[in-house]
Structure 1
């Protein structure tokens, strides 16, 4: 029979169709219905899919169990709304306990109709724990954000069918009953694959994979073997390692690249990699996140899909050391893939460092004065956002380790984490750089009786959440109006010169203070004295949020080029809505 229609226009269904084909999943058992018409009718005319019909959904699910077990391949089942999906549960339970790869795609009307007595709409948001290994809900696609959400969820669902021995998976697919069916060819959607140590590894170092970089998020302490594996990899591929202070990596080809990456007027395309290998966890180095390049490979033992850069292609479910050792061994004895790439990136960074401007009294200025002077062998903790960002612009001594609460990324436990870490080694110095809101939020821990004499706390007190008053922050739209509630100014004594002093000294801390660069010069050497003394020290430096913003703007505009200037001017003229309109037009 010849059909005169093609695929559905509904993009969430298109993503499913494309990725089922990309992952070579062919067998489908379809039950009749209206909400799954878009999906089933599109499958019906595509010769890739081998279709079977079952009126009874309970029978369909058990048929899928038998077929999946016999073929040792995933099998799709599709049904409509109302109670159809409920009848899948016995068969899905069977699949769960036998680890059979059955993919149940339950179609329905928009999720917003759940709970409003709309006919044939039931709540599928909660699934029994022993019926599926994963359940995802796809959005009705309205924009690129929804497309990305669909791509990630469908890839994740398909990969879960075989993960940890396999098992059944559920996708909730809403429909808009769109017509006509006139899409002659499915658009390309992103395919993500999971690679284990037993699988065939994709090629690296090919002509379109010449520039290779490693991005390290917050990372546990590196072992010697892990460092050597990454160093060997870098030697073979000429790879760059983009780091921030929380990454902890001190090996070869390391670049603390935030200063260059943050330049708003700099053409960074020469340093953009073809492949970015993503390791570690959450990062606070927002600037270097923009260095993703064309394709991202994620390496982590957890094997989870974490699409931080929205360019994920592979997830390598293995230790980092195994990944780097494999590829280094594969290229052993060959000339480096791209020996000049690291040097190109290093030179771009150095050119910015050679032109650092004079900054006003601010967190960034304090970093410029202290970072290289932190005593060898110390540990330093950074408050999130402004403190971490500013200090990422400057190198620490190689023997200094760093940490920041970038996991949950809140302001609530910086001092407590510092003191907890300091208990591990009372004879080692532990520094902190923290803003006033985060300091006062966690103030009570300073009175903990276990706090020792090995603490050095730099309190940058600007009287508010200065992040919200930065020149480039979203809240800058409100100007002074952001002060009262967004930036939370006026709390904690309004930069009182005695509040922290009295509290600290009463608890037995040594207290230092500065309101100018001159006063800072008087005290800073005491603060960074390399010996653990009789008391811990709190050094309170009072800054102004306007000067903080000026410092950040100055340091992020060291470099300039015509292309960068044109881009920034366009952003200012068009605004966010105008930029989105231009993006949509360019995609047509």
Structure 2
């Protein structure tokens, strides 16, 4: 039995029409008509998460795994505001997250009634579309609601996906659940965009350029780019740079470019800088590549994106190409002349890459742990990376080509990494690994309070007693406020939290304990999720990090 509210019935039927099946429900009374309708319809797969902030990231993790829209539904008031961090991440990571918020009638907003605030448009520019439904009293009202829902879902699933917000006012009485069927609705069909690169001036610019560079930011796994990029690398004198978050694995791609740039001599920089830069995908982690390309501005910079918005990250943009990355590289392969001369520029980068090796430290530290863990990951593992030191340290090591990498780099916040991994793992068929730092873990520890956690989740918690990355920043590392107020040193341990939530708990404080626990951590036979807490010290970690970069200067 469903709610008798017409706007609720319309919304549910439209989500079904557009095949938006997965809905994360946060408890509440104002959204009870929505909860009843979604949960009692066999089409929908519903999840329950009490903490709205965690619920938003849980839904984000679901959407990362299925690469399709996921809805999250909350009650009125501050519950909606708690979804803000996940909405921002979804916007910049281009994830189709649909926020559905129940609300009081407009007449009661601002009248000191309980659990109210102005909800329409609350996310401002961080959503693709924000709509306010009516409580329909006529056929025209129903038509209006359907038109608005169509628009919100269309924007959600547009060429470049992102979040949409549907706010739905619900008057009392709320708990009439007497309707037996949803209304029938059909989706509005859309025609795929045909992308082609027909600008002769750009094609000529490609052919004439002698130092071409393609820099690839964050992309979802299975993006289909590898073969086309390898073809470009073979046919043209072109350097291809990517981070693990780009999910492109090829011997033609250079992953250690951050370390390469660090160890370049001043007189070598001009030889390594491009004259034509092409950027694909989302955010890039490396601050060093940003500084390098801003200081050595290329003569031309093409930004490739399906969104008609200028993004001039390197202060040098000359062309905005409204294309998806795969169409672009296929068009280059098809329409540009192959370069038969020696690949001098590409060879220079590849040669340097071979000389820049991963850290080989034998000292028990964050770097040592990261290297051992990544080398031992099983084939086809799903790897979720926390932000800050974790994602940067992971980039220093090679990854097996079969590993899929996810990270909340849209806004690079630390607050939702655990919740995202929990959501992802809840529907992923294989093992899901999360590597996360201590501040990020404890910030999001409520993620463990979740009934949908499965035994396939493996969390490696690197606990160095605070925000270690701040101790590596020149100037800040000398501040008297550093320990207490910035890096927030602590002696907190995760054991009791993990065990109270049904996790198997492992811990290590040295090399031997770490190695001895690896088999248990990687075991597919575990009947519970596993949390492996690795205790390191900031001072040793900092020395290991500095030692590695010091050696780079001596190559």
TM-score, normalized by length of structure 2? 0.60
1:357–1:558 contact (8 Å) kept in structure 2: no
5 Å-filtered alignment, 1:55-204, equals 197=197, 199-202=199-202, 203-204=204-205
2:196–2:328 contact (8 Å) kept in structure 1: no
Task: Choose 510-519 or 313-322, whichever is displaced more.
Answer: 313-322
- Which residue of structure 2 aligns with residue 178 of structure 1? none
CA distance in 2, matches of 1:229, 1:351: 26
- Which residue of structure 2 aligns with residue 384 of structure 1? 387
Q: How far 1:259 moved relative to its partner?
A: 5.3
- Which residue of structure 1 aligns with residue 82 of structure 2? none
- Which residue of structure 2 aligns with residue 254 of structure 1? 253
5 Å-filtered alignment, 1:173-572, equals 197=197, 199-202=199-202, 203-205=204-206, 209-224=209-224, 226-251=225-250, 253-258=252-257, 260-261=259-260, 263-264=262-263, 266=265, 269=269, 270-292=271-293, 293-295=296-298, 296-332=301-337, 334-336=338-340, 338-353=342-357, 356-425=359-428, 427-470=429-472, 472-478=473-479, 480-490=480-490, 494-496=491-493, 500-529=494-523, 531=524, 533-560=526-553
Cα gap change, 1:381 to 1:262, in 2 (>3 Å): farther
1:210–1:338 contact (8 Å) kept in structure 2: no
Q: Greater RCO between the two (CA within 8 Å, min separation 6)?
A: 2
Q: Please, what is the CA RMSD of the aligned residues? A: 2.5
Question: After the TM superposition, which segments of 4 or more aligned residues of structure 1 sit over 6 Å from their partners?
Answer: none
CA distance in 1, matches of 2:342, 2:319: 22
1:218–1:280 contact (8 Å) kept in structure 2: yes
- Which residue of structure 1 aligns with residue 133 of structure 2? none
Q: How far 1:352 moved relative to its partner?
A: 1.9
Q: How far 1:432 moved relative to its partner?
A: 0.9
Cα gap change, 1:201 to 1:527, in 2 (>3 Å): farther
1:259–1:352 contact (8 Å) kept in structure 2: no
Q: Give the 3-state SS of the residue equivalent to 2:451 in structure 1.
A: coil
1:415–1:442 contact (8 Å) kept in structure 2: yes
Q: How far 1:338 moved relative to its partner?
A: 5.0
For structure 1, which runs of at least 5 residues remain unmatched after alignment? Answer: 1-194, 563-588
For structure 2, which runs of at least 5 residues remain unmatched after alignment? Answer: 1-194
CA distance in 1, matches of 2:339, 2:497: 62
CA distance in 1, matches of 2:290, 2:252: 18
Cα gap change, 1:352 to 1:251, in 2 (>3 Å): closer
TM-score, normalized by length of structure 1? 0.56
CA distance in 2, matches of 1:258, 1:391: 13
CA distance in 2, matches of 1:266, 1:418: 40
- Which residue of structure 1 aligns with residue 53 of structure 2? none
Q: How far 1:279 moved relative to its partner?
A: 0.7
Q: How far 1:411 moved relative to its partner?
A: 0.4
2:385–2:406 contact (8 Å) kept in structure 1: yes
